[in-house]
Each structure stands twice: as C-alpha cells, then as structure tokens.
A and B are shown apart, each in its own frame.
Chain A
Amino acid sequence: MLDNMLSVMIFLPILGGLTILLLPFGRDAARAIGLAGSAVVALFSLKLFFSFDPSVVLAFVEQRPLLESFGISYHLGIDGISLLVLMAAGLLFPLVYLLFRTRDKGYYGNLLLVQGAMIGAVCAADMVLFYVFWEIMLLPMFFMIGLYGGPRRLPATIKITIYTITGSLLMLASIVYLGLAHHAQTGQWSFAMAALTELSLSGPGATLAFFGFMAAFAIKIPLFPFHTWLPDAYTEAPAATTFVLSAIMAKIGVYGVIRFVLPVFDESLVRYALLFSWAGVISMLYCGLAALAQNDFKRLLAFSSASHMGIIALGVFCLNLQALTGTLYQIVAHATSTGLLFLLLGLVEEQSESRQIDSFGGMASRAPILAVFFAVAMLASVGLPGTSGFIGEFLIILGAIKFNVVIGVLAATTLVVGVCYMLWLFQRLFFQKPGKSTDRCRELSLVEAATILPVIVLIIVMGVYPQPFLDRIIPSAERQIVKVVSERAAVAEHAPVSNQFQEQN
C-alpha cells in the first residue's frame, strides 16, 4: 500500500468523483462518499508529512513507462516543495464536505475530481503527466462555477476557461519545446523533470518557452496583468469553489514556477526576475487598493487573496533562499488563513443570502465563535506575529530587501494596505449597529466549530513553532535554488549572494 501511496491519493478521489457523477446517488450519499474519500486522503497526507525524509531528492517515487517511444512515463514523487502544496490539497478538502451540506451530488463529485487532479499535478515528476493533471483540474472547476455559481456565473465561467486554456496551451507548446530540446541535446526523448533540469537552454526559443510557462502559471496565480478573470470567478463561484480556487489552485501556479521554471529556465528567470517581481508588487498594491473599494465581501476577499498571492509570487522571483523559504511557508499559511476566510464568509452568505458589507454589522454579539475564528484567520492573513502568516511574510520581505531595496520597501508598505481593508471589513461586519442581514445569520454549530478548530490550531502552531515545517522545506528549497543563486552570482559578480546562502543554514 505504501509503495503506491501517491497513486492512491490521486486516483481514490478521481474514482470516487466519477462514481458519484456516473451512478445515480442521492445528495447525502454523494456527500458521504466525498467526505470518506477526502478523509482517507487527509490521513494519507498526514502519514506522508510525518514519514517524509527531507534529505531525499524525490520521495515516494513511482515510475512506470507510459509512452515509451516518446519518453513519457507515469512518474510520481514529491520533495519538500510539493509536500506543502500536497498537504494543503490533502487536508483542507474534508472541511468543505463538513461545512456545506446542501449541495447537489454533482458538486461533491466535481470536488473529488478536482482534488485528485490537484494532487496529481503536485506529485507529477514528468512534464506531460503534470500537464494532463493540470488540465483535468480545469474541467471540474468549469462545471462547478458554471453549474452552481451565482447569477452572473456564465460570463465568469467563460472568462476563466478562456484564460486558463490559453495559458495551458502556451505551456503545452513550451513542454513540447523542452522535450525536443532534450531530444536534440541527448538524442533521446524524455519529459522527466530531472532530465529537463540538466538541459542547457539558451536563445530566443528558450526565452519563448520560458514565457509560455510563465503565462500559464501567472494566469493561475493570478499575477498582474493576468488577474482580470479573478474577481468575477471568485465572486460568482460558490463558496467552496472559491475556497478551492484561492486556497489550493492558485498555489499550484506558484508551485509550478518553483518546481519547474526555477530549475529548468534558470538563465531566463535570472534575466527577467526583476520584471516579474515588479508584477508581484503591482499585484499586491493594485489588488490591495481595489479591495479597499469593495462593498461585496466576497469580492473584497477575492482581491485580498490576489494581493497576498502577489507577495507569494514576489518571494519566488527574489531568487534567494529566505524569500523562497518564506514563499513556501506562506503557501500553507495563505491556504489556511484565506481559505478559512472564504469558508466562513461562505457560510454567512449561504445563511443571509447577501454579500453586501453594508447590510451586516454587529455580528460579533450574534455569532461570537464565528467572530473569533474570523479574527484569527484575518490576523494570520495580514501577518500578525504569532500566526502562520507572519513567518512567511517576514522571510519574504527580508529576501525582497536583499534582492532589491525599492521592491522590498514597497512590498512591506503594501502590507499596510492589507491591514487596512481587513480591519475595516472586520469592523463593518462584526461591530457597529446590527444590519438587516445580520438577523438571518446564526452562530456556528458544534460540528462546524469542531471542523474549523483544527485549522485555527494549525494557524497558531505554525506561527509559534515553525521549525518542523522549515526542516522539511529548506533542503528542497536549497536544492531548487542553488543553480539560480550561482547564476546570479555570476551575473552580479559579487560575493554576498553565496554568503546569504550560508547565513540561513
């Protein structure tokens, strides 16, 4: 069983999802299957986390040839980077089944499918396999937004689909380019990650392929200026889907950059890092300011999520160990905190059928537990010391200042905007005079509170005692970035870069 743990984690949800979709189950049965499936996956991911050995390059490897003549294989394996995203995808899904009970069976089926595909994308160590899972991820989202979303769901669905498919096809072209480059340089076909990392890529073709990958990932993250699908999709999607989009799917975009682009296109990345880090800063600032202006809390959270994704992306493009470690840490922190915010407000929206911030108020006295949970998640999201958000943001800002002082300072200032809209949101929703929608809200039930509590605990544990997580991240982050750091050192021709590298150890 342990030999193909990753396969089980991928195909158990996919098969469960297909079973729900293809066989005539009722809503409750579908939810039970979904809950059971995702619970098993969650147990597996805990097992993975505790038995993960950070010193191995690729753990839990499974490899079988798929299309031998083309060098495509069914190749799975995880390192410290995949581990974190995998944990987010494995552990957070059961929440959705526990919190949202009154959905169609198709909804639960699609959720399982998307979970399986996400885990597949994170575990894939072969480019074509990654692409296949990356695309499969898209289809359930398409149906979940289009079938179960808000009133303006159709334009939102079409927008997100066109954006992501365009990105995917550009990525496909780049993958084909990489395969051919490998064929040209070694005389053999291979799409294996490890083999592609060995390639020496240069010339306009490599630059184009780099931008092809970056376009796909930037759309998924989403990074300015590819973010325009985000407010519509996040707002129109049902709460649980928004949660999946922001908490996990966006992370797979960042994951792609770290895992594939960083080692394979080290040269191009060093050359264009400044460009992309500006895109990250502009994302932060622009989406932060846009969030300030919203009166629809889901839209506000959408912009807030995008703004925080900006800092995560920035961490990647700073190209030093602190920032990269911070990014990886922030991936989990953002998944738990922002994800939780979306879930909590999703519950509020379902009860009150309103998303207008104006119509709420005074919820703290009506639903104190909800208010406390919300406050913890909010504080983690703005990076209060003692919560998970702090560690990641601190490391990223540190790395950003080392990378480029202007960007670092700008990013640090932008975080203040985040605090502003979040606190203002909290004040308008939970304090003040009760509004007309407040009456229809109720306190979290015992089950709901018990479901959310572990996440709250995780947020605080990660804020107070980050070491076990960092232990698992840092070796992989180092391996990933070592080539780029030497590249930068060669470009910049001054030594401090390698010193930075040692400080961290």
Chain B
Amino acid sequence: MFDVMVVLPLIATGAGAILIMLVAAFETFRKEGLSILGMGLFAFAFFVQLTVDNSGDITPFAGVFNGMLVANTFTKVAGLIILACGFFSAIAAQTYFTQNKGFVPEFYCMLLFAAFGMLLLTMVAELITLFIALEIMSLAVYSLVGYDRRSVVRSEAVLKYLMLGAFAGAFYVMGVVLIYAGAGSTRFAEIGATIAAYGFLANPALVGGSLLVLFALLFKAAVFPLHAWVVDVYDGAPLPVTGFMATAVKAASFAVLANFLTIDSAIHQEWLIFLFYISILTMFAGNLIAIGQNNIKRMLAASGIVHSGYLLIALVALGSEQVSGAIILYYLAAYGIATLGLFVALSYLSGVEEKRTVFDDFRGLAKVRPYSAACIAVFLLSMAGIPPTAGFMGKLYIIAGAYQAGHVVLAVIGIVSSILSIWYYLRLIVVMYFREPEDDFAVAEMTLAPLGTMVLAIGIFAISLYPVAW
C-alpha cells in the first residue's frame, strides 16, 4: 500500500494527462474546466508527494519495475518542486489564455505529461529508464513550445529545440551504449560496483560514455557550451511554457545530474575539473548574454544560464558534504519561486499577444499596479540574492558549500557573478519604479495569476528561513 503512495504522484500526472486528453474530446469541457482540472491534478499530486515519508531509499514495486525506480527524500523534494512549478505554470496558462488566442485543450495534457516525465527522471536508477523519462519530458515540452503552429516564432523555436534536443538524445543513447559496453549493465548500482572494482579511468568506454551522458544532461540544464539554444527557445515559447521550462525542466535536469554524478565517487572526481571550468564559463557566458538583452523573457532566459552556473558550483562541491543535495534542491526551489513568479506576473502583465515584453514597456508599472510591481521587485531581488529573500539563503548555502569543499575560487567567482547580475535585475526595478507610466496595464478580466503572483512573493520570504539539513 505504501508503494502505491510513493508512485501515486506519477500515476496522478500520467493518468491525469490521459484523462485530460479524453475529456478534451467533449465540447462541454472547455477552457475553464480543463485548466481547473489541470491545476487540480497538480495540486493533488503535490499533496500526495508531501504526505509520503520517503526517508531512506525506497524501491517501489521492486518486482514489477525490476528496481528501476528509487525514491528517497531527495526525489521527494525534487518532485515537490516540479509539481509546484507545474501548478503555477497551469495558473499562468489559465490567465495567459484569457488574453491570448490559440488555446488548445491538449495544452494541460502536455503539461502533465512533461511533469510525469520529470518525476520519473528524478526517481530513475537505470540508464534506459532515464532515457525514456528524458524523452517523455522532452517530447511534451517540444509540443508545448510549438503548440501554436501558425506562429512563425514558435515554429522556429520548436525547430531549434527539437533538432538540438534530438542530437542531445542521440548523444545520450551513444553514451549509454558505451557505458553498457564498459560495465555490462545499465543499472546505477551495478555500474557503480564495476567502477569500484576495476576503476573508472581503466575503462575508456566508461569514460567516453559518461562524458556523452553528461553532455546530454547538461544540454537540458542549459549549461555552457550547450546553452546557446536557451535564449531563442525561451523567447519563442509562450510565456507559461517558458516559465515551466525555466524552472521544472531545470529542476529535473539538475536532480538527475546529481543522481548520475553520485553513481560512484570516481565519476564525480574525474569530472570535477571539467565541471569546475564549465561552471565558471556558464556564469560568465550567462551574464554576458543577459546584460545585453532588452527583452525581459530573453533576459530571464540568460539569467537562467547564470543560475545553472551557481547550481554547478553546488554540484562540484557535491560528495565532499552529504548536504549538497539539500543545497541544490533549496536553490532550485528559491530560483523556481522567483522565476515562476516573474513568468506568472508577466502572463497577465504582458497583455494581449504578449505585446509588452521589452524593459521599456514596463515603465511606471509601480504607479499603476503597485502590488504587481512590488511582487516583481521581490522576485528580482531574490534572484539577485539580496536578504532576507530565499535567493540570498540559497547563495549563502552554495558559497558556504564551495568554501568548505575547498573551492574558494569558485566561491569568489560566484560572488563576482552575482555582482554582475545585479546590473540587469536592477534595470527592471529602475524602469518600473523610476519612470513615468504611459500605459494603463489593462488586464483582460479577473484571473488567477495576480493571486498566484502574491502567493509566490510570500513564498520567497516563507522559505527563506526554511532550515536545510546540514
């Protein structure tokens, strides 16, 4: 019975997606009903996930699934983040579709499918299942990006994403083949045992294979040098989808990266130097791109790259302290709340057909819609890492973790990068507060997004003092 509870969130999202697909065929269920159903499924899965006690490694239905899935506290929290992201993306979508044409009932279905793939991704303990989960997530996200076939921008974005994603998938499969050749198994546990017995570097197939797998996962996480697609794809995707991609996809990718790197300490050790430089380059590449942006969506996409860099710092420090997992998840939660908050706010502020997207379009927002502006300011300050927001605590943990693992250089560069990033976060605040309004920021009708924005803004402060187990 307990096993059922562990996989119930998976069932709720997976079966829920199919349910929505079926229900969408009926004329009586239209926009409102479907969005409520989507949100409800996410909320249900969230609360189930929240109530299950996942301490220790649990292999649900070990016989049926052949031990492919492992649940523990790490997967539980990662799943919570993903489901919360899904819930708020659904809220953003509900509002977004009151102002924009092109609603398709399958939208929520794809959202749930993607979440299903992500939940699976966090729990896998085997490389083939990982591939299946990765592709479930990716295919659902591809269709979310390009659901509006009439739009050229969306089609371009989905083409870019799909092509590159397919390459990443191919790399991944190649990597799995090599690892299988080297270790004779695709199970994490057995690969770890092989490495422990024969060494990692002694086996070129394992080295090459793990590099290819890493590449595929880093692509999903938008890490240098595989970050170039992010800005265009995020910009081309509809707002709620961008928010979902920026948060949930990133959370799932980093969760699975952390799991993959902890297969055996040798894998982590050998790739340490590689990850070290990659994280530095990611932070600076992201900052350079973000500083030049004039479009908020693009700026957020680029700043997402920078945050990937911070998360990589935590990954580098991983293994030296057991808590790194907790730090990564805390940071993902903090980053997720702030980013989602911005996208939820944009989903109603950007107006019909996303007409307000540039910094200058938000001139004087604080005078016309003071609460929205205050919430946005809170999100931006959290992303910049100003106390007492969650973003500050996240950075504090990451920097402390890096120091403790002996990577003082990384800690210092992380701080320098935060200083740089303040430049573009403050720009939006300056525009919102210090300019005179020209627009009345009319919103189509009463929707859920403003409420969601408020909840997320409070959440920033609420989790800032949430204790991370050390």
Contacts and interface: CB of A to CB of B under 8 A. Distances in A.
**Chain A, interface residues (CB within 8 Å), range:** 35 or more
A147 B408 CA distance: 39
Contact of A139 (B386, B423, B434, B467): B386
Interface stretch (A162-170, A237-245, A415-423): A162-170
A147 B432 CA distance: 11
A158 B426 contact: yes
A180 B419 CA distance: 22
B43 interface: no
B336 to A, nearest CB: 20
Contacts of B392: 132, 135
A205 B412 CA distance: 12
A112 to B, nearest CB: 16
Contact of A179 (B386, B400, B412): B400
A2 interface: no
Chain B, interface size: which category?
20 to 34
Contact of B419 (A146, A153, A169, A183): A169
B411 A132 contact: no
Interface in B415-432: 415, 418-419, 422-423, 426, 430
B465 A66 contact: yes
Interface in A188-214: 189, 205
Given A67-B467, A176-B411, A139 B387 contact: no
A387 B396 CA distance: 46
B103 interface: no
A176 B371 CA distance: 34
A132 B430 contact: no
A172 B415 CA distance: 9
Nearest to A74: B465
Interface in B59-115: none
A177 interface: yes
Interface in B366-415: 371, 374, 381, 385-388, 392, 396, 399-400, 403-404, 408, 411-412, 415
Nearest to A175: B396
Contacts of B387: 131-132, 135-136
Contacts of A189: 470
B469 interface: yes
A164 to B, nearest CB: 10
Contacts of A21: 374
A154 interface: yes
A449 interface: no
B404 A180 contact: yes
Interface of B: 371, 374, 381, 385-388, 392, 396, 399-400, 403-404, 408, 411-412, 415, 418-419, 422-423, 426, 430, 433-434, 465, 467-470
17 contacts: A21-B374, A22-B374, A66-B465, A67-B468, A69-B467, A70-B470, A131-B387, A139-B381, A146-B434, A169-B385, A169-B415, A169-B418, A172-B399, A173-B415, A176-B403, A179-B400, A205-B408
Given A70-B470, A139-B381, 8 more contacts: A70-B467, A135-B387, A136-B388, A161-B422, A166-B419, A172-B399, A176-B400, A180-B400
7 residue pairs, one from A and one from B, having the closest CB atoms: A69-B470, A132-B387, A146-B434, A135-B387, A132-B388, A176-B400, A169-B415
